[in-house]
A and B are shown apart, each in its own frame.
Chain A
Amino acid sequence: MGSFKLGGMTFGSLFKKPETTLYPVETKPAPAGLKGHIHNDVEKCILCGICAKTCPCHTITVDKKNRKWAIDPFMCVQCSSCVYACPKDCLHMLPTYTPVSVSQFCNVFDVPDPKNPKPAVTPNSAVKWDFSEPDQLGQLEK
């Protein structure tokens, strides 16, 4: 009667906290080291392009002339090789689970020029990973 050997464990589960969560009402807290998505700390970025070269999926494009740094989150595989390759430590992986989206887009970061500290007032400035308002994102249509 092997089946009843598991009985104790199964019976005990009745009084324990459930192992599952009521997603989406309740979400799992993300651990600190989670590889969520790439964020560029634009203050430190020197647009060297090493990240674009290291990326195994050619996700990152660096436009030195227009001082733009872009990543396609739909091609990124979260390997974080760009984070390790960055000479200025300006790239980070933020521990947030990537939310779903209804359209494809690129995330463009404006990198301010230290020699010419004119605040960039292009519509694409200050990109934040806030998917709750997808229309207000600085997005480049693909």
Chain B
Amino acid sequence: MGKSTIIPFGPQHPVLPEPLHLDLVVEDETVIDCIPQIGFVHRGLEKLVETRDYNQFIYVAERICGICAMGHSLGYAETVESLMGVEVPRRAEYLRVIWHELSRIHSHLLWLGLAADAFGFESMFMHCWRLRERVLDIFEKTTGGRVILSVVRVGGVNRDIDDAMLREIVNVLDGIKDDYTKIMNTLLTDTSVKNRTVGVGFISKEAALDLSMVGPFSRASDVPYDVRSFGRGAYGELSDFQPVTDAQGDCFARVKVRCLEVLQSIEIIKELAAKVPAGDISVAVKGAPAEGAQASNVLEQPRGECYYYARGNGTKYLERMRMRTPTSQNLAGMATALKGCDLADVNMIVLTIDPCISCTER
């Protein structure tokens, strides 16, 4: 047994798009303990709810994170709607889900590109981001923004998608699917990728349940937990929804689950685009949340379950707004996955968990 050393990892590191610091306790080349630390990008967005009314705060909620922008605005709007008892038109629910699933595709493709880059697979990185660009173009055409969409409002959505555009979205997605399937098959059968990921960072099903992990991280450990399966909003209209799971629980399983979720999202959008009902896209919301009224809500973000909580105080300003994001739930799981791994595998494990630190700190 060698002497144990503490190696700092991050906050600046080539595989980390965002500042996360890990104190790795290393014995020889093996990590025996890990203490995660965040707190480098805390912006106090939750405090801002006191100076922005509930309609304005949606634009703040969106800016928590660039990749999950659509998800955060949707989760926030759903929470305030449940706080005030607002019924959203069916068409708006469909459009919200279509945009949300598109943003899941874009998030997973972005992550896949970064992962490929970390594997040293440059050309795949280019291909993934090329496909992601098409999703961003759809966003630009339908909402007017590429990353920050500003399309959800309390009581519905701001913009409509007409039938011609829906057909175009389906066509573009078909094109993406062709290219994407080739990329995915390459990635999932590649020997060097397998050498790097299979058996690395293993988390058992019991540990995943014990640590209340969420999102693709838990689904890769055979925990079939997906908020979408509660069938809220337009998800209830899907003929069949089964969360993508994998029993292996290692890095490769996490890559695989995310890869397959892109295909699942494409299928969801195609199914919903075919049956978007006609009607209004928003209802007027009047009044203010009652004093002391509370509402909580969960939503499946690309990275997992996100929890929202709102409390009113009788005015149009909310008393408290809280977002608990998937990564803060997964930090303990990440520390557990890192225990016992090789120092060289740390970046792979951190990457396949896909931490979003801006979300976590708000």
Contact = CB atoms under 8 A, between A and B. Distances in A.
Interface of A: 1-3, 5-6, 8-10, 19, 31, 33-35, 54-56, 77-81, 84, 93, 95
A19 B133 contact: yes
Contacts of A55: 56
B158 A78 contact: no
A9 B143 CA distance: 31
**A-B pairs, 9 with minimum CB distance:** A2-B190, A35-B144, A56-B56, A5-B186, A79-B150, A31-B141, A79-B59, A56-B59, A33-B144
A55 B56 CA distance: 7
Nearest to A77: B59
B239 interface: no
A84 B158 contact: yes
Interface of B: 52, 55-57, 59-60, 63, 121, 123-124, 127, 130, 133, 137, 140-145, 148, 150, 153, 158-159, 179, 182-183, 185-187, 189-193
B190 A56 contact: no
A9 B52 CA distance: 49
B143 A5 contact: no
A10 B183 CA distance: 11
Contact of B193 (A2, A33, A54, A77): A2
A133 to B, nearest CB: 27
A48 B63 CA distance: 29
A31 B185 CA distance: 34
Contacts of B130: 19
Nearest to B159: A33
11 contacts: A5-B186, A6-B123, A6-B124, A6-B186, A9-B127, A10-B123, A33-B141, A56-B56, A77-B148, A77-B150, A79-B150
A34 B138 CA distance: 11
Contact of B127 (A2, A6, A80, A95): A6
Contacts of A31: 137, 140-141, 144
B145 A35 contact: yes
A93 B144 contact: yes
Nearest to A95: B144
Contacts of B143: 33, 35
B141 A81 contact: no
Contacts of B140: 31, 33-34
A40 to B, nearest CB: 18
A80 B158 CA distance: 9
Chain A binding surface SS class: loop
Contact of B182 (A9, A19, A84, A95): A9
B185 A5 contact: yes
B179 to A, nearest CB: 7
A125 to B, nearest CB: 29
A35 B150 contact: yes
B9 to A, nearest CB: 29
Contact of A80 (B150, B186, B193): B150
A11 to B, nearest CB: 11
Contacts of A34: 140, 144
A53 to B, nearest CB: 9
Contacts of B150: 35, 77-81
A97 to B, nearest CB: 11
Contacts of A33: 140-144, 159
A31 B190 CA distance: 39
B137 to A, nearest CB: 8
A95 B145 CA distance: 11
Contacts of B141: 31, 33
B361 to A, nearest CB: 21
Contacts of A8: 182
A99 to B, nearest CB: 17
Given A31-B140, A34-B144, A56-B52, A2 B186 contact: yes
Contacts of B59: 56, 77, 79, 81
A2 B52 CA distance: 52
B252 to A, nearest CB: 13
